[in-house]
A and B are shown apart, each in its own frame.
Chain A
């Protein structure tokens, strides 16, 4: 089975901090994704990557950046955290379809 592992289940940070969320997949998938999940809004795509060092903006990239230096790892970076970035963050990977999801990181920005 595909395993997508997110480094933290819960994270609390302060406004203005630089925050790193890590995601690792073990199936050699080309594509990796970061979503945020908010009540009533479902999942919204932040960024995705279709190869090492390649990235594309999703629907809500503002305030975020990503890094993919190795195929198995895709990092989401909050350059200067703000309270409106408090959310559940989900990482996913895929070769074709469907996507495989990690268990999520619940991030609180105080």
Chain B
């Protein structure tokens, strides 16, 4: 079947630290992969996406590379800010317009 596994949180970092949030997936065929972010009290917003192997999605200093050989899509940012504190969800799209979401990773960034 299709599923997404994310590292458990919360992840607590100091401002300007390097961020990695791990995401691995199980899927048949060639899914599209996404990272969404949810700020407190809000719905999910698309952060970045990649539609095929070796694609790199990037936005707002965040990056993730679609690695088919390791079935991974890890989220990285070189220098986090307090304003990046949120919950991050990895997701894949496989059939029709059906998405499979990970359980979410909460990021706390301290000044």
- A residues neighboring B (CB under 8 Å): 4, 31, 35, 40-45, 48, 50, 58, 90, 92, 94, 96-99, 101-104
Query: Does B103 contact A40, Cβ atoms closer than 8 Å?
Result: yes
Chain A residues closer than 8 Å to B97, beta-carbon distance: 31, 48, 50, 94, 96-97, 99
| Neighbour of B43 across the interface among A48, A90, A97, CB < 8 A | A90
Beta-carbon contacts under 8 Å, B87-103 to A: 89, 93, 96-99, 101-103
Query: Does A101 contact B44, Cβ atoms closer than 8 Å?
Result: yes
Chain B residues closer than 8 Å to A101, beta-carbon distance: 43-45
Q: Is B61 an interface residue (CB 8 A)?
A: no
Q: Is B27 an interface residue (CB 8 A)?
A: no
Chain B residues closer than 8 Å to A43, beta-carbon distance: 44, 89, 99, 101
A48 to B97, CA, bound (A): 9
A99 to B43, CA, bound (A): 11
* Further pairs besides A43-B89, A45-B99: 17, Cβ < 8 Å: A31-B97, A41-B103, A42-B4, A42-B103, A42-B104, A43-B44, A43-B101, A48-B98, A50-B97, A90-B44, A94-B97, A97-B93, A98-B49, A98-B93, A99-B97, A101-B45, A102-B43
Chain A residues closer than 8 Å to B101, beta-carbon distance: 35, 42-44
With contacts A90-B43, A90-B44, A103-B42 known, is A45 near B98, CB below 8 A?
Answer: yes
Query: Does B43 contact A103, Cβ atoms closer than 8 Å?
Result: yes
CB of B68, distance to nearest CB on chain A (Å): 19
- B residues neighboring A (CB under 8 Å): 4, 6, 32, 34, 41-46, 49, 89, 93, 96-99, 101-104
Q: List 6 A-B contacts (CB under 8 A).
A: A42-B89, A43-B44, A50-B97, A90-B43, A94-B97, A99-B46
Looking across the interface, which residue of chain A has its beta carbon closest to that of B96?
A: A50
A90 to B43, CA, bound (A): 7
A4 to B34, CA, bound (A): 20
A98 to B41, CA, bound (A): 21
